[in-house]
A and B are shown apart, each in its own frame.
Chain A
Amino acid sequence: MTSTSTRPPSIHGHQSGHAPGERRIGSTIVLIVLSILVLVPFLWVVSLAFTPEKDAFGSVSLIPAHPTLSNFDTAFVDANLSTALVNSAIVALITVATNCAFAILAGYAFARMRFPGSTALFYTLISTAAIPVSVTLIPLFLMARGIPFAGGNDAFGHGGSGFLDTLAGVVLPYIVMPLNIFLARQFFSTAPAELAEAARMDGAGEWRIFARVYLPLAKPLIAVIAIFSFTGVWDDFLWPLVVTSSPETQTVQLALARFLASGNVQYGPVMAGAIIATVPVLLVFLFNQRSFISGLADGSVKG
C-alpha cells in the first residue's frame, strides 16, 4: 500500500502501471468477499461438527451454544473410521515410498542418462497420465482378481479372488504415477551437469553419482512428489470403491460415503468424519505450503 501513497487517483486512460490506492482497496474488498464465499461452507462444517445432535435441527448458529466432541466419537465408532484411517495411511505411505524411489530414479535417468529411444519411452510413459480412469478400471479389476498365487489363485490366476478386497489391491494402480516421472525429469534437467562430470573424473559409479551428488539436491522434488502421491491416493474414491468390499479393507473416503449411506443421515457425525478424513491432507499441505504451490507451478509451467 505504501508505494501508491503520493500518486493522484488515476482517471480512465491514465498511462500508469502502478495500481492506484483506490483500485487496490477495491480489489482487496473483492478478494475478501470471494474468500469468504469460498470458505463459508467450511466454517459451517466445523460448526456443525461441534454442535450436539439435538441442537442440529432448525436454524443452526455459526458458533455452537453447547460445543461437544460427541459427533467425533460417533464418527469413529459408527463409521469404522479408525480401521479406515489405518488402511488409508498404509496405502498412502507405500505409494509415497514407491513413487519417491522409482519415479525419481526414472526421471533422473530420462534427464541425465539418456539412451537411444529414451525420449520416445518418456513420452509414452507420460501420455498414460491422460488415460481416463474408466478405461483402465475394468481391466485393472480383472488383473487384480487374476494375480497368480494370491487370494487362493492358482498359477494362472484362476480359482480365487486375487488381490480383490486386499490393501495390495488398493495400492496396485498408484505404484508409479507418470506425472511424478515428469516432475523428476523437469527437476534434474535443470541441475548442473558439471557435478556428474567431476564425479566421473573422480571415478564415482553412476549409482553413487545419483545417490550422493544429485539426490541431496532434490529435497524440494521429493517433497512435491510425496505430497502429490499422498493426497492423490488419500483422496481417491472410484478404485477403492471397486476393488474393496469389506469394512476391513475400506479407505477413509469410502468409509465416509458408506457412513452417509448407512441410514438416517445425521449431519453432525458426518461432518466430524469429513474433518477427520481431511486433517491429514491439510497437515501435509500446511507443513509444505511453499513447495506445494511453487512445485505445482514449476512442473506445469514447463509442461
Chain B
Amino acid sequence: MTATSTRTPASAATVAAPTVRRAAPPARRRPRWNRISIVGLIFVLPAALYIIIFQLIPVIYGFVLSFTKYSPLSRSGPKPVGVDNYANLFTNGDFGNALLVTGRYVLQVLPLTVVIALVLALLVARPFRGVSFFRSALYIPHIVSLTAVSLVWLWMYSQDGLINELLNAVGLPDQAWLLHPDSALNAASAMRIWKALGSNMVLLLAGLQSIPKELYEAARVDGAGRWNSFRYVTVPGLKPMLVYVVAMDIIYLSQGFAEIYVLTKGGPLGSTTTINYLIYTQAFQYNQLGTASAMAFVLFALIIGFSFLTMRSLTGRQK
C-alpha cells in the first residue's frame, strides 16, 4: 500500500512526497490512481459486483443460515439456534454415513483415474500418425454431460445391460449392481473413473508438453536411461499440473450429485448418499435449510483442508 502513502494529510504531504517518489523501485511499479486505472476499475465493476452479490454474499448468508432453523415454506424467517445444527451433525448418523460414503467415493476414484490418465497422457504425448484421434476419442466421456453418462451406465448396469451380458457370455450369473449396498458405490465409482479420464489426460498432457525438451536431452547426455529421465525429469516437471489435477478432482468428486441422483437416488440403504445428495434432500425434501447449510459448511471446510493438504504434500518436497 505504498501508493496510498503519498496521500498523507496536507501538512505532511509536502515533505513526504519527494522521498516516496525516490524510494519507489523502478522495476515493478505499484499501480496508482490515474485516468487509465479509473477506467480499469469501471471495466472490472460489472463482473466484480455480480460475483460479490451472487457468490460472496451467498457464502455469508449461508453461514448465517447454518446457525438458524429455517423452512422455506414458513414466511416467518430464520430462527437463531446457535451451534445446534453443527452439534446435531455429529450425533446424526446420516451425516457421518454421508461423510464416509463421500470419502470412500473420492478415494476409490481419484488414484485410479489419475494413474490411468497419466499412462494415457504419456502414450499420446509424442506425435505419431493418428495421435489426435486418440486424444479426441479419450476426451469424449468428458464432453458428455454427467446426467447423460449416468443414464448410459444405468442401462449398462441394468439386468439386461451390457455388463451382465458380458458376464453371462463367460458363464457368470447376473448381478444387480445398483441394488446391493455392497456394490452400488463401487458401480458409481467405476463410472466416475471412466468419466474423469479424458479431462485428467488432457491436463496431464499439457503438463508433459510444458517440460522443456532440453531437460530430456541434458539427462540423456548425463547417461540417464528411460526410467531415470522419467523419475528425475518427467515427475518433477509434471508436479505442478499433478497437484492441480488432484486438487480439482478432490473438489469435483467430493461434490458428486447428478450421477447419484440418476443412478441410485442415494440408495440402497444410504450406501451411495454423498454429502451433496444429503444436503439436497435435507434442504429441498425435508425443508431443513439450517441443517443443510451447516452440512455444506462442514463440506466446505473439508474440501479446503484436503486441497491444502494435497498441495502441501505434493509440493512440499520440491526445493
User: What residues of chain A have their CB less than 8 Å away from a CB belonging to chain B?
Assistant: 1, 13-17, 19, 24, 27-28, 30-31, 34-35, 38-42, 44-45, 48, 57-60, 102-103, 105-106, 108-110, 112-116, 118, 121, 124-125, 128, 130-143, 145, 158, 172-173, 175-176, 178, 181, 206-207, 210, 231, 234-235, 237-238, 241-242, 253, 256-257, 260, 265, 267, 270-271, 273-274, 277-278, 281-282, 285, 289, 293, 296-298, 300-301, 303
Contacts and interface: CB of A to CB of B under 8 A. Distances in A.
Contacts of A57: 160
Interface string B298-311: 01100110010000
Contacts of A277: 145, 147-148
B246 interface: no
Nearest to B247: A130
A139 B283 CA distance: 11
19 contacts: A15-B224, A106-B43, A110-B44, A112-B40, A130-B303, A132-B296, A136-B59, A138-B62, A139-B59, A176-B47, A241-B280, A257-B261, A277-B145, A278-B148, A281-B144, A282-B143, A285-B143, A300-B241, A300-B244
B137 interface: yes
What are the nearest 5 A-B pairs in CB distance? A113-B40, A297-B206, A115-B37, A139-B58, A109-B43
A178 B244 CA distance: 17
Q: Is the interface of A mostly helix, strand, loop or mixed?
A: helix
Contacts of A14: 225
Given A137-B296, A296-B206, A34 B138 contact: yes
Interface string B35-75: 11111110110111011001111110110010000001001
A271 B58 contact: no
B48 A142 contact: no
Nearest to A119: B31
Contact of B261 (A106, A133, A237, A281): A237
A134 B59 contact: no
Contacts of A300: 203, 206, 241, 244
Given A256-B151, A270-B151, A206 B128 contact: no
A128 B223 CA distance: 47
B312 to A, nearest CB: 16
Contacts of B22: none
B39 A206 contact: yes
Interface stretch (B11-19, B119-127, B179-187): B119-127
B24 to A, nearest CB: 14
